[in-house]
Structure 1
Amino acid sequence: MLLSLLPLLLLLLVRASQASHFLGTMMTYYPEETFTDGSVSVVLRYKLNFVSCSHSDAWQCNGNCGAQTQTLNLSVVEEVSGEWCQREGAITRLLPNNAGFETLLAGGDWIYSIQNGILSWRAVTAVEMRNRSDIGKHNTSPQTTILPALRIPSNCAKNINLLAFDPDGDEVRCRYGNTSASECDPCTPPSVLSVSSNCSLSFSPTYSNTELHYAVQLVIEDFPTQNMNLIQTDGSQEVKTTNDAISKIPLQFVLKVGPPVPSCEDGAYLPRFLPPTPENRAQLFALAGQALEINIRAEATQSVITGLLYSGPYNAVKNSSGSGNFSLTWTPSASEGGQSHPICFVVQAKVTLSPG
């Protein structure tokens, strides 16, 4: 099991008027079985983020799609103030051979007042299922997850190290989506946010007193650490170098830049994590059928910690044991054994500032 902690951000619990409803999505995939007739199965896990749990959408498939044998709506996580809802699901596909395919989520609209001019949504996953000569099996996508909305005070420069892990040991790189490649509609990046190839986001302060929303539309890709071949069922091969992406997945969410706070120091108005909270991008291991408990502690001397927001496996359970003390408990099933399951969380806090 893989655990990732986003840098602790102050969530001011300010709701904007929203009639449109999309707040992003993500998808990952894991190969499952290879059968004697050459067919293969793959499970795709996704999250859909909306303002209301009443909204839903469906992924389309292009290419070697085979048959969709199972679709599971695994869980719904709703932010307590009603700001967002995250739906988690899984799709299992049985493919006639190991040629790849593409999934597409398209529609509209993002929430109102997106500052970088994004209206419609579009997200693409490129699934690579050919056998790899370097590891002797099918490719697995990078693993990641995200909350539907992240809040940052407008006067605080922040670096956010996103979860970006690859079970095959590949190099994982992040970038903004490309409009010409139809990876989003359009892919205009937020002017206040830069992304590095190692999946770190850097926020540049705006000092705005008004809450501003930005659509963040990222693509995460895996690159082999040495040249290798992708081998199809019919024997045909394709060379992949260390500069060639193997697969790609979308990671999309909303950045909400809120009013300034008097101090950007962690632990004052902005909460900070304390032990025994695991470190950022820590990897924890759990046995199937046995509960893993993740203890989380945070403090803020000038604000009130009100809750924990998280995105993780569908059957994770959250508990609170007093201000700033939380736990997440997850018991993996036998079918989840040998896989990586990402978790990210932030502490939610509220501050009351005197006028003037």
Structure 2
Amino acid sequence: MKSLNIAYNPRIDQLRWLAALIVFLFHFYIEYRAAGGAAIGSPWWGIVTEGHTGVGLFFTLSGFLFMRIAQGKGEIQYRDFLRNRMLRIFPLFFVIFLLATSIQRDRFQPQDLFYIFATNLGDSPTSRSVVTGAAWCISLEFMFYLVFPFIARFALEQGPRYLLKLIALMLFFKAAAYAESERSTLMYFSTFVGRFDQFLVGMLAAELFVRCHGWLRRHALWLAPAALALALGNSALQASIAPFNASPKSAFWIFWSLQESAVWAVLILGWVSFERRLPHWLEKALCHGGKVSFSFYLLHAAVIHSLGRNVGLPQLLEQPLANALALGAIVYGATWALATLSYNTIEEPFLRMRRRYGREGTPN
């Protein structure tokens, strides 16, 4: 569903597809290993073994997209902005939350209802099951929505230096919190302290996009693949130095989210500036993947885990790598189909209720 508040850019949907794909590969690999599949030994496959980085791409992309909207509007009407955001994420998120409380029926406590506002903290019902675990990041996304109109206004008034000052504050918070948390990796991974700077980096990328659009357009042909190679290298670095499940904790994670989002910001700038058309069938497929990416993200773990528990690790092909790729393709296709059904049934009817939330701009 195209936005009413900014001209449609298929590159944004294609980046959403990429983010969802990376997270899918991460969780598929975890389930594959749990079922007895072979481990990946090389850190150069970090984009898979550390595929949680796809969430960082989602967050950075959110900051970029909404700042681009703010740049095209003299003023964002706060009430209508939040109304649109609620219509965008709450219907499907609420379904997932109800699924989580149903699965955890025997452990349910009345106070668990408050976790609908903080799925990333404590003993949230959504985090008790792999099936609904992906919902942890929705609370962080909505936290960003709550403050974005104010941050965007100040950034438009003061320029990029305002965002840089906020990022500097976030670095201080990260450093100060490191020694105070025994599970600092999980804190950086799933809380305001560890993630909010990724939205800010996305907003900063939008400021750079406006100021350097001509240069980006001229160099996008090499910039986009170079940024993708940089993302692969960055994931390999993390897999080598401080993987997510490593013990003891590593100070690398103080800077991890900022480094991760900076790399994704370069990819966003390069790909959004890339004006050459892909083959029609590929453009259509990737854009559809981006369109249904929210459903795909929230449902993919349920598909992977359910198939893993009930089917296991069937040997479709003799070669282990070929067998893993075949299984991954089948599970991916099943998730794609379910996400399309979810989008058409749950998301799209509510998306049609959105309205403009700025004083300028025209619908697509």
TM-score (norm 1): 0.25
Greater percentage in strand = 1
Greater percentage in helix = 2
